[in-house]
Chain A
Amino acid sequence: MSRQTARPTDSRKVSAELFTLTYGALVSQLLKDYENDDDVNKQLEKIGYNIGIRAIEDFLARSNVTRCNDFRETADVISKIAFKMFLGISPAVTNWSPAGDEFSLLIENNPLTDFVELPEGHNKLNYSCVLCGALKGALEMVQLEVDVKIVQDQLKGDNVTELRVKFIKRLEDAIPAGED
């Protein structure tokens, strides 16, 4: 006889609300600790970076993607596979620069900011900049140095949250001593 169970089949799924609340609690605590919006932004980015350098391994393990051939492929993988895997959303990839070294990710339904409103006096807070840090950290671990900034923010009145990703340079593997 099979056992009926009400538990979800994937024990890894956590309620999306719990995720949003946890992140909100983290940001609130940082605001109390640091008081200054710029410092909080820096901390969020650092936290994001530390998440990114580990999340990349989880991503590579589960998604089986191989090295991308160019930056456009990287953008597609980030948007269609990575964001989908971790946040369940697929931001649009747009606004490519003419040189092909910068693009934007447009996020409409940001799970981090469900139910969130920025409090008075905190207009410089980049609430979602943990995503910037995470992208930077993750890409650094696959030899890509990028700069990621929030250029539009739904919490500040814009229609979408826009992350601008700029390619800086390729990082080379560390060569062992004695090799050339």
Chain B
Amino acid sequence: MTIHNLYIFDKKGTCLYYGEWHRKKRSGISKDEELKLMYGMLFSIKSFANRISPTDLKEGFTSFRTNNYKCHFYETPSGLKFVMNTDVPVGNIKDDLHQLYSSIYVEYVVKNPMCDMDKTVQSELFKNKLDEYVRSLAYFPLSKS
């Protein structure tokens, strides 16, 4: 099992953080374009899923899957969006993304008065703690494949 990468967006669409662990293929467009594309796509899918839903929604859009990877989505009520691409066998990781939000983002960014919440996170401490956390997840591989 593998974790490929992670995006964190705020409610305005600014990318607060992008981290990459195992990515073999580039998207072929610039980083900025890729971030805009990712955010725009998520916004559209979320809105589409809500509108088309034949029953009452509890959580709405949580993930999509192709034959090679799975894209997981978690949004807080404050509009913060956590997007993680893993490989296909990984199940629902909403709890892990929530944990990432509460014990890393809130602790190291929100509670740091020097961290501007509207821009990409500069804090090295945040980046290190996040990296440590992602590497500790059960579905992060132990050896390079």
List A residues at the B interface (Cβ < 8 Å). Answer: 53-54, 56-58, 60-62, 64-67, 141-143, 173-179
Residues of chain A within 8 A of B105, CB atoms compared: 57, 61
The one of B39, B40, B101 in contact with A61, judged by C-beta atoms closer than 8 angstroms, is: B101
B76 within 8 Å of A (CB atoms):
yes
Q: Which residues of A contact B101 (CB under 8 A)?
A: 61
Whole-angstrom CA separation of A34 from B48 in the bound complex: 52
Is B130 positioned at the interface, with any CB of A under 8 Å from its CB? Answer: no
Q: Contact at B78–A174, with CB atoms within 8 Å? A: no
Other-chain contact of B43, A54, A65, A176 (Cβ < 8 Å): A176
> Using a CB–CB distance below 8 Å, which chain B residues touch chain A?
11-13, 36, 39-40, 43-44, 76-80, 98, 101-103, 105-106, 110-111, 117
- B interface secondary structure, majority: helix
What are 19 sample pairs from A and B whose C-beta atoms fall under 8 A apart?
A54-B117, A56-B78, A57-B76, A57-B105, A58-B106, A60-B76, A60-B77, A60-B78, A61-B76, A61-B102, A61-B103, A61-B106, A64-B98, A65-B77, A66-B77, A142-B78, A176-B13, A176-B43, A178-B40
Instruction: Write the chain B residue with the least CB distance to A50.
Output: B113
Q: Which residues of B lie under 8 Å from residue A60 when comparing CB positions? A: 76-78
Nearest chain-A residue to B115 (Cβ)? A54
- Chain A residues with Cβ below 8 Å from B39 are 176
The answer, among A61, A62, A64, A174, for a CB contact under 8 Å with B11, is A174
Assuming A57-B110, A61-B102, A61-B106, what are 17 further A-B pairs, CB within 8 angstroms? A54-B111, A57-B76, A57-B80, A58-B110, A60-B77, A61-B76, A61-B98, A67-B77, A142-B77, A142-B78, A173-B11, A174-B11, A175-B43, A176-B39, A176-B43, A178-B40, A179-B40
Taking a contact as CB atoms under 8 Å apart, the answer to whether A57 and B78 are in contact is yes
A166 to chain B, nearest CB (A): 21
Contacts of B80 in A (CB 8 A): 57
CA distance A61 to B44 in the complex (A): 25
Q: Shortest distance in angstroms between A75's beta carbon and chain B's nearest beta carbon?
A: 16
State in angstroms the CA–CA spacing of A178 and B78 once bound together: 23
The residues of B that contact A62 with a CB separation of less than 8 Å are 102
Residue of A nearest to B101 (CB): A61
Query: Using Cβ atoms and an 8 Å threshold, which residues of chain A touch B13?
Result: 174, 176
Q: Do B111 and A58 touch (CB < 8 A)? A: yes
Q: A67: which B residues are within 8 A, CB to CB? A: 77
CB neighbours (8 Å) of B117 from chain A are 53-54
